Amino acid sequence: MNKLEQGFVQIYTGNGKGKSTAAIGQAVRAAGFGLRTYIAQFMKEFPYNELNSLKYLNDWIKIEQFGGDEFVYKKELPGKDEVEKAKKGLQTAKEKMLSGEYDLIILDESIVAIYFKLIKTEELIEIISKKSKNVELIFTGRYCPQELIEVADLVTEMKEVKHYYQKGITSRRGIES
């Protein structure tokens, strides 16, 4: 039974920290109200630590990963296998959305996945078009195309004002990943 009277389409984009964590925090808040969330993560094969803690909330939150981002570091476009994994992620997220079992559907890093040609803007717009009234859809990732902003209800840009990358710090376990 969906409990959301009115679901919307949310976007977290921009070059700042906090896009994926905001989506996770949103799922955790929703769980506290008994809402169920499905999260598909794109370009995140690496075992992000949220996978461990969200297990404790698995009555409400289900999270799955569809492909990695190694090609970014190799400065290549993704190979066929990565495109296939992303396609599967999209298909799965759509099925979960249509199943009626979830109140929130989060496609984490799906927007940057467009930028890297893993998926197409139109594919996300198609998912939006099939959303029922009481489902909330959340997309995250930098480089959001204007077409997607136009069809979303809430768009937040996480803007980097200051970052310790400048101090030579890269990624810390438990914080950045």
Q: Is 18 in the site for a second copy (CB under 8 A)?
A: yes
Tokens matching residue 91:
């298909």
Residue 12's SS3 state is: strand
| Secondary structure letter of residue 177 according to DSSP | -
Q: Is 170 in the site for a second copy (CB under 8 A)?
A: no
Q: Is 100 in the site for a second copy (CB under 8 A)?
A: no
Q: Is 28 in the site for a second copy (CB under 8 A)?
A: yes
| Secondary structure letter of residue 119 according to DSSP | S
| Secondary structure letter of residue 24 according to DSSP | H
Q: Is 17 in the site for a second copy (CB under 8 A)?
A: yes
Q: Between residues 119 and 144, which has the closer beta carbon with respect to a second copy?
A: 144
Q: Is 174 in the site for a second copy (CB under 8 A)?
A: yes
Q: Is 56 in the site for a second copy (CB under 8 A)?
A: yes
Binding-site size, a second copy (CB under 8 A)? 62
Interatomic CA distance for residues 174 and 171, integer angstroms: 9
Q: What does the DSSP assignment read for 88-117? A: HHHHHHHHHHHHT--SEEEEETHHHHHHTT
Which chain residues interact with a second copy by CB under 8 A? 3-6, 8, 10-14, 16-26, 28-35, 48-54, 56-57, 60, 103, 136, 149, 152-164, 167, 169, 172-175, 177
